[in-house]
Amino acid sequence: MNNFSTGRNIIGIPRALSYYGNYPFYYGFFKALGINIILSDKTTTKIINEGVEKVVSDTCLPIKVFVGHVLNLLEKGCDKIFVPSLQSSSYKINNCSKIRGLPEIIRNVIDKPFKMIEPTIDKTEGISFKDFCFDIAHEYNIYNKDLINSAIKSGWVVYDNFLKMTNSGVNYETALQNAIEGKILNPQMEIVRPLSVVIMAHGYNLFDERISMRLLKKLEKMGVKAYTSLNVTKENALDSIKQLGEIQYWANELDLTGTAAYYMLNNKVDGIIALSAFGCGPDSLMVDEIQYHAKEYNMPMIHLTIDEHTGEAGFVTRLEAFVDMLLRNKRKALEINNPPKTLPPVIKKERVLTKV
- Dihedral pair phi/psi, residue 112, rounded to 5°: -110, 150
Of positions 33, 35, 47, 96, contacts ligand SF4 by CB under 6 A:
96
Give dist(CA 208, CA 265) in Å, integer.
28
- Per rule CB under 6 A, is residue 47 in the interface with ligand SF4? no
Which amino acid does the sequence have at 139?
E
**Subset of 118-157 contacting ligand SF4 (CB under 6 A):** none
- Residue 63, interface with ligand SF4 (CB under 6 A)? yes
Contact between 222 and ligand SF4 by CB under 6 A: the answer reads no
Distances from the Cα of 264 to the Cαs of 163, 199, 273, 316, in angstroms?
22, 11, 12, 24
Q: Taking CB under 6 A as the rule, which mask of x and - marks residues 154-193 in contact with ligand SF4?
A: ----------------------------------------
Buried b (16+ CB within 10 A) or exposed e, 12-39: bbbbbbbbbbbbbbbbbbbbbbebebbb
* CB 114, CB 79: distance < 8 Å: yes
Q: Decide if residue 299 touches ligand SF4 (CB under 6 A).
A: no
Q: Which of 28, 62, 84, 119 binds ligand SF4 (CB under 6 A)?
A: 62
Using CB under 6 A as the binding rule, whether residue 98 contacts ligand SF4 is answered as yes
**Nearer residue to ligand SF4 within complex by CB, 50 or 283:** 283
Q: Does 282 bind ligand SF4 (CB under 6 A)?
A: yes
If one asks whether residue 67 binds ligand SF4 (CB under 6 A), the answer comes out as no
CB of 97 to ligand SF4, least distance (A): 7
Position 83 contacts ligand SF4 (CB under 6 A): no
Residue 318's nearest CA partner among 196, 203, 213 is 213
Instruction: Please give the radius of gyration of the chain, using alpha carbons only, rounded to the nearest integer.
Output: 25
If one asks whether residue 203 binds ligand SF4 (CB under 6 A), the answer comes out as: no
Q: Which residue, 47 or 326, is less far from ligand SF4 as judged by CB?
A: 47
Pairing of strands 93-94, 85-90: antiparallel
Task: Specify whether the CB–CB gap between 62 and 99 falls below 8 A.
Answer: no
**99 is a site residue for ligand SF4 (CB under 6 A):** yes
Quote the CA–CA distance of 234 and 232 in Å, as a whole number.
6
Using CB under 6 A as the binding rule, whether residue 277 contacts ligand SF4 is answered as yes
Closest by CA position to 232, among listed 207, 200, 190, 196: 200
The identity of residue 249, as a single letter, is Y
Tell me which of 134, 283, 287, 289 binds ligand SF4, using CB under 6 A: 283
Q: Of the two residues 48 and 277, which places its CB atom closer to ligand SF4 in the complex?
A: 277
Least Å from the CB of residue 250 to ligand SF4? 7
When binding is defined by CB under 6 A, the residue of 280, 290, 294, 302 that contacts ligand SF4 is 280
Interaction between residue 253 and ligand SF4 (CB under 6 A)? no
Note the Cα 300 to chain centre separation in Å: 21
List interacting residues with ligand SF4 (CB under 6 A): 60, 62-63, 96, 98-99, 202, 277, 280-283
